[in-house]
């Protein structure tokens, strides 16, 4: 690796190769860890093109990285090489309220974009729960979607156009600025969800929608998890249009109660549902319909409000859930494994129960929660990460869960992507897709330099794919 | 071509090679015409796989064809070979109302699907104006979108998954049944809009949404086309959420009046706007807003109604426009050339005027109308198709229009696709995209058998690309 060359491209201060920094860039929000050789922080498209040309000719891997908040090892540089930190490219290039689109650099943080859009009464709505840190580039890389995807869809539905630097350094301008387009292959949509393996996104044109005038949140408690699951399925099947429909199970409730002192009732499940829009009567109608459905399934409505402060208060348990799960029990870690499958709505209730059963069977704690309105079931595995036996249990649980998901016609990942942790299960489920993906990958990145060894090229065992970023006490099992 | 082999695959009844049949299958709704060698009508996935394996090994072209209602030569077999008529594969395989999706074969007609969904209170909404004949496979092939795309989006937004037979006969299952998915490349979305050049779609899983309870239509007339264009732009930028927002210019109005006796006021422009939803107050709110905006731009509201019958009556002028344009004047033809560009909303008014200016300059008649709510401006060139001079004028007009569209950041096609007629302008505007497309095409169809010579591989001059299907005299 010619570090001097990289320095001449981006400037010495934007190339990092000190061991502590490399270490930090070796991990993301997953359980994985692998060291890059160098971190480069480009400031312009031309710099990125030059880096790609160099790396392509020397066969050096490039892993584009936004905030590194991916949960399956997306930005972990499995084959070393260059981590390309995109965070300096964080300009909002253009907001066109009249034409309902904006153009941004990939390093723009989601919340920053939405803050800039607010004065225009506009919003970029597919934001994931991590919007405080996630970058637009990473959201596109993962085809991210968030708490409002049930109404507003995923990132793929908002990317109108992209500028992309290909593996050989060529810059291509894809897609359009208009709302509809039937003008050639939708290559920009192919790039969405490609996890940094097909090209480096250097600019994005995003569709915007008007901010709703009113939002109303309501909360329902259930003594039985199945009842909550059935309510969710029923809300969707009845034609309701929630702008959010979230589940928390007993473990999630307990987590926020013990760590944050939230004082939520210790029921089997809570559902949060929201409707939004311009006209109150329409919102009332949606909320009332959803409340009726919850009651029909033995739910108890504990709160309803249009008020921002109150909504924030009621929702804070769900909002802070990830942080709470991370502190669930002293010495426990909250690991993202089998963390975001999607299942058909009719399987929601069964899926939640299944997760608990499987966790029990394999001696780990798992929680079921998430953006259930779009069919997504989030889980985390909570365990002592130093105990090798727990990891063995986790592996079996992950496998059992994905077998179940596949059987009921679900998908391995609804939101966070495949990368490393989910690759083994996904490969088993999608051999056809993999074959086509391999052809396309070869066509666009023949030297395999862009985020290599992810997705279809990922190792067959996630546990041994990289060092796990916890100290695992092997003695214990040996003894 | 081994016709017997094809007959042994699909059965004798389903292979056609007499000249009359071939002639019909040589054209679609475009100006182009080219003869296939044979028409094959498969009835199953396995048959299609076998046909593909045979064609791929012999280097024979395969053009998948739905209803053949494409307007740019999509299904015209430029290199002969096999036209694969998909209409026998017209089964609705599964409707899952609780999970809000359905699975269909590609030959299902859009209106038939929506009729089957209605009892469940559901709809597949991206339907093009041609939904009475268009097939789901052709809609996916073209990434079609229709009068309600302003609210409901295009076909690409509704394809959750599909089964595809690749050029070599391999069958692949892509996408999912769930609403969101972040599990590998979105190849199924790459197939949407690929115009039959990447694979043969043999099954599609489609997202469904609830049918609205109320629909309200409003009509506004304008003395000046610019005012109508500005009203459209203003409706969108004010955050209104119409479920439809359509324009008709004076030529369109005169066409429906003279051919259908509709008695529309002979103004410069009419806008039709609609809102839909579950709650009347919300629909009223949208309609009121849009009315106010039209009035601000000197529009006169001539009708509003929730009633299905009345709405049908008011809208019939727009609904029957295509038929009317075809009969605009004795001896004239209505040609789809430069017919569906999309421009940024703020350029809507200017674009409509520009089309008229360019038409006049080049001695043809052009009309500006269409699904303007999603930025689409439809046009047709009306002319005597036997007059060579008119074709020359049309060629210049097309070129000037696309130069304009490109200069304001628009796209060559918003709805109907590129195929042959729009390829020259599109190639000029999108060299980058073409390069990437060629790489993908080579990777998935190395022998170039699937709908060859379309899009990036189309001839550089649409006028000489094929026979023009009119008798053009000097
Ligand atoms: C607490 C928490 C909550 C979360 N909630 C959600 C959620 O609700 N929904 C959801 O979908 N995800 C969620 N995530 C996962 C993750 O935050 C999102 O998917 C997010 O979009 C990733 O953005 P990032 O900038 O961190 O990307 P990174 O992790 O840095 O990168 C993600 C992928 O995109 C690629 N990439 C990044 N930038 C570019 C670029 N410019 N060009 C090409 N490829 C690029 C990378 O190579 C990598 O493969 C959550 C994560 C955490 C920690
Ligand atoms: C009066 C009229 C109005 C129209 N209005 C609209 C409109 O509002 N919006 C709009 O978008 N379009 C419109 N169109 C154009 C056209 O009708 C649509 O795009 C329609 O979706 C085409 O469907 P089809 O079945 O006729 O496809 P075809 O014309 O038969 O084929 C279209 C393309 O798809 C490919 N294809 C077909 N089936 C398959 C398959 N199974 N697998 C792979 N590829 C396949 C073909 O090879 C071809 O490239 C209109 C056309 C007419 C004549």
Shortest Cα–Cα distance, B301 to chain A (Å): 23
pLDDT digits (tens, 9 = 90+) for B430-452: 999 999 999 999 999 999 999 99
Segment holding A229, helix H or strand E? helix A225-237
Cα(B66)–Cα(B112) distance, integer angstroms: 14
Q: CB under 8 Å to B433, separation ≥6 — which residues?
A: A172, A173, A174, A184, A185, A187
Q: Compute the Cα dihedral for B85, B91, B92, B94 and give only its sign.
A: negative
Strands A214-222 vs A300-305: parallel, antiparallel or unpaired: antiparallel
At A478 the pLDDT is: 38
Contact list, A376 vs chain B (CB under 8 Å)? 178, 180
Number of the ligand 1 atom closest to the C-alpha atom of A138 = 27
Helices (H), A320-347: 321-326
Chain B residues within an 8 Å CB radius of A285: 278-279
Which residue's alpha carbon is nearest to atom 32 within ligand 2? B138
Q: How many CB atoms lie within 10 A of CB A12?
A: 10
The answer for B 132-161 residues in CB contact with A (under 8 A) is 142-145, 149-150, 153-154, 156-157
User: Do the Cβ atoms of A97 and B237 come within 8 Å?
Assistant: yes
Selected residues 419-448 of chain A with any CB under 8 Å from a CB in chain B: 422, 426, 430, 432-437, 439-440, 442-444
In the reported structure, the alpha carbon of residue A135 is separated from the centroid of ligand 1 by a whole-number distance in angstroms of 7
Look up tokens 């391995």; give the residue: A412
Residues 6+ apart with CB under 8 A from A219: A270, A271, A272, A273, A301, A302, A303, A304, A314
Q: Which of A30, A55, A70, A154 to mutate to test the pocket of ligand 1 (most atoms within 8 A of CB)?
A: A70
Pocket of ligand 2 (CB under 6 A): B 28-29, 63-71, 74-75, 86, 106, 128-130, 134-135, 137-139, 141-142, 144-146, 195-196, 200-201, 322, 415-416, 451
The reply to whether B119 touches chain A by the CB within 8 Å rule is no
CB B272 within 8 A of CB B302: no
A388 Cα to the center of ligand 1, angstroms: 28
Query: Could B181 and A455 be called an inter-chain contact, meaning their C-beta atoms sit closer than 8 Å?
Result: no
The dihedral built from the CA positions of residue B195, B198, B203 and B207, taken in this order, carries a sign that is negative
Main-chain phi, psi angles of B215, to 5 degrees? -135, 135
Atom of ligand 2 nearest to the CA of B64: 47
Q: What are residue B198's phi and psi, to 5 degrees? A: -115, -20
Q: What is the CA radius of gyration of chain B?
A: 22
Letter string b/e over residues B268-280, b meaning 16 or more CB atoms within 10 A of that residue's CB? bbbbbbbbbbbbb
Cα dist. B78→A4, B193, B395, B455 in Å? 54, 19, 20, 12
**Residue A190 to residue B189, Cβ atoms within 8 A:** yes
Torsion angles phi and psi, residue A7, rounded to 5: -65, -35
Domains, in order of start, for chain A: 3-87 (3.30.43.10), 89-210 (3.30.465.10), 212-326 (3.30.70.2190), 329-442+468-479 (3.30.70.2740)
Question: Ligand 1: does its nearest atom lie under 6 Å from the Cβ of A154?
Answer: no
Residues of B in contact with A410 (CB under 8 A): 176, 178
Question: Which chain A residues have a beta carbon less than 8 Å from that of B142?
Answer: 182
User: What residues in chain B have per-residue pLDDT under 70?
Assistant: 474
CA A140 to ligand 1 center in whole angstroms: 8
User: Residue A68: nearest ligand to its CA?
Assistant: 1
> Is B180 within 8 Å of A154 when comparing Cβ atoms?
yes
A429 lines ligand 1 (CB under 6 A): no
Residues of B with CB below 8 A from A189's CB?
156, 186, 189-190
Locate tokens 């429906």: which residue? B256
Place of tokens 């060894």: A453
What is the pLDDT at residue A73?
97
Residues A115 and A382: their CA atoms lie apart, in Å, by 34
pLDDT means per 10 residues in chain A (479 residues)? 97 96 95 97 98 98 98 97 98 96 98 98 96 98 95 96 98 94 95 98 97 97 96 94 96 92 92 97 98 98 97 92 91 93 93 96 95 94 95 96 96 95 96 97 98 97 93 60
- Give residues 66 to 105 of A whose Cβ lies within 8 Å of B: 96-100
- Neighbour-count burial for A33-62, b at 16+ CB within 10 Å, e otherwise: bbbbbbbbbbeebebbbbbbbbbbeeebbb
A144 lines ligand 1 (CB under 6 A): yes
Cα-based distances in Å from B337 to B29, B334, B378, B403: 11, 9, 10, 14
- Residues A156 and B185 sit within 8 Å (Cβ to Cβ): no
Q: Is the CB of A195 under 6 A from ligand 1?
A: yes
Helices A225-237 and A348-361 pack at an angle, to 10 degrees, of 150
Structure tokens at B82: 């096999």
Q: Identify which of B62, B141, B152, B256 to mutate to test ligand 2's pocket (most ligand atoms within 8 A of the CB).
A: B141
Give me the pLDDT at residue A474, please.
64
Can you tell me whether residue A201 is helix, strand or coil?
A: strand
> Do residues B122 and B211 make contact, with C-beta atoms less than 8 angstroms apart?
yes
Residues in chain B closer than 8 A to A409 (CB atoms): 177
CA distance B458 to chain A (A): 12
Closest C-alpha to B145, from B127, B159, B122: B127
Nearest CB partner across the interface for B142, out of A149, A182, A192: A182
- Taking the Cβ of residue B194 and every Cβ of chain A, the question of whether any pair is shorter than 8 Å is answered with yes
Cα distance between the two ends of chain A: 44
The residues near B391 (Cβ < 8 Å, ≥ 6 apart) are B383, B385, B463, B468, B472
Residue B41 alpha carbon to ligand 2 centre in Å: 18
- Say if the Cβ atoms of A345 and B432 lie within 8 Å: no
Mutate to test the interface with B, among A158, A179, A426, A438 (most CBs of B within 10 A): A179
Select from A240, A237, A462, A232 the least CA-distant residue to A336: A462
Enumerate the residues of chain A whose CB falls inside 8 A of the CB of residue B416. 182
Entry pTM? 0.96
**Using the 8-state DSSP alphabet, how is residue B258 labeled?**
H
Q: Are residues A381 and A420 in contact, defined by beta-carbon separation less than 8 angstroms?
A: no
Nearest CA in chain B to A232: B98
The H-or-E segment that residue B285 falls in is helix B280-296
B154 vs A180: CB contact, 8 Å cut-off?
yes
pLDDT of residue B397: 97
Q: Which residues contact A134 (CB under 8 A, 6 or more apart)?
A: A66, A67, A69, A109, A110, A127, A128, A144
- As a whole number of angstroms, the distance between CA B376 and CA B148 comes to 12
Tokens of A337: 């494994």
Instruction: Using DSSP, state whether A378 is helix, strand or coil.
Output: strand
Instruction: Give how far the C-alpha of residue A459 lies from the chain's centroid of Cα atoms, to the nearest Å.
Output: 21
Cβ atoms < 10 Å from Cβ of A8:
12
In chain B, residues with a C-beta closer than 8 Å to the C-beta of A422 are 183
The response to whether residue A77 sits with its C-beta less than 6 Å from ligand 1 reads: no
Q: What share of chain A is helix, strand, coil (3-state, %, to 5)?
A: 40, 20, 35
Among A190, A282, A344, select the one facing B177 at the smallest CB separation: A344
Q: How far apart are CA B8 and CA B51, in angstroms?
A: 10
């Amino acid at each position: 690796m010619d570090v001097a060359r990289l320095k001449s491209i981006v400037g010495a201060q934007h190339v990092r190769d000190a061991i502590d920094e490399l270490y930090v860039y070796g991990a993301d929000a997953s359980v994985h860890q692998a060291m890059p050789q160098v971190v480069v922080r480009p400031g312009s498209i031309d710099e990125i093109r030059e880096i790609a040309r160099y790396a392509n000719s020397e066969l050096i891997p490039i892993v584009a990285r936004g905030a590194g908040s991916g949960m399956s090892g997306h930005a972990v540089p499995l084959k070393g090489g260059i981590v390309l930190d995109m965070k300096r490219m964080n300009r909002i290039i253009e907001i066109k309220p009249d034409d309902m689109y904006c153009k941004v650099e990939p390093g723009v943080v989601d919340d920053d974009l939405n803050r800039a859009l607010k004065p225009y009464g506009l919003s970029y709505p597919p934001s994931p729960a991590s919007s405080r840190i996630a970058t637009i580039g990473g959201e596109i890389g993962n085809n991210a979607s968030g708490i409002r995807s049930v109404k507003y869809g995923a990132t793929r539905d908002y990317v109108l156009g992209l500028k992309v630097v290909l593996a050989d350094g060529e810059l291509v301008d894809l897609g359009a600025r208009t709302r509809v387009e039937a003008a050639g292959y939708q290559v920009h949509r192919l790039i969405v969800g490609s996890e940094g393996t097909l090209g480096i996104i250097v600019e994005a044109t995003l569709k915007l929608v008007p901010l709703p005038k009113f939002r109303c949140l309501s909360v329902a408690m259930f003594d039985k998890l199945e009842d909550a699951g059935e309510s969710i399925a029923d809300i969707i099947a009845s034609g309701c249009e929630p702008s959010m429909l979230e589940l928390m199970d007993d473990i999630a409730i307990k987590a926020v109660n013990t760590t944050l002192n939230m004082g939520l009732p210790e029921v089997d499940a809570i559902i949060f549902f929201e409707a939004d829009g311009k006209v109150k009567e329409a919102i009332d109608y949606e909320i009332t319909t959803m409340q009726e459905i919850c009651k029909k399934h033995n739910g108890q409505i504990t709160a309803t409000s249009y008020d921002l402060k109150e909504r924030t208060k009621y929702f804070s348990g769900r909002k802070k859930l990830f942080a709470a799960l991370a502190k669930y029990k002293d010495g426990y870690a909250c690991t993202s494994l089998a963390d975001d499958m999607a299942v058909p709505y009719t399987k929601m209730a069964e899926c939640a129960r299944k997760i608990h059963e499987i966790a029990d069977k394999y001696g780990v704690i798992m929680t079921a929660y998430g953006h259930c309105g779009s069919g997504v079931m989030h889980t985390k595995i909570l365990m002592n990460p130093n105990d090798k036996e727990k990891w063995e249990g986790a592996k079996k649980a992950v496998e059992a869960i994905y077998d179940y998901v596949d059987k009921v016609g679900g998908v391995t990942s609804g939101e966070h992507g495949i990368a490393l942790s989910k690759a083994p299960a996904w490969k088993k489920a999608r051999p056809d897709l993999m074959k086509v993906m391999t052809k396309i990958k070869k066509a666009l990145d023949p030297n395999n330099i862009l985020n290599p060894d992810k997705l279809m090229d990922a190792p067959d065992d996630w546990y041994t794919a990289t060092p796990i970023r916890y100290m695992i006490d092997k003695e214990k099992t040996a003894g």
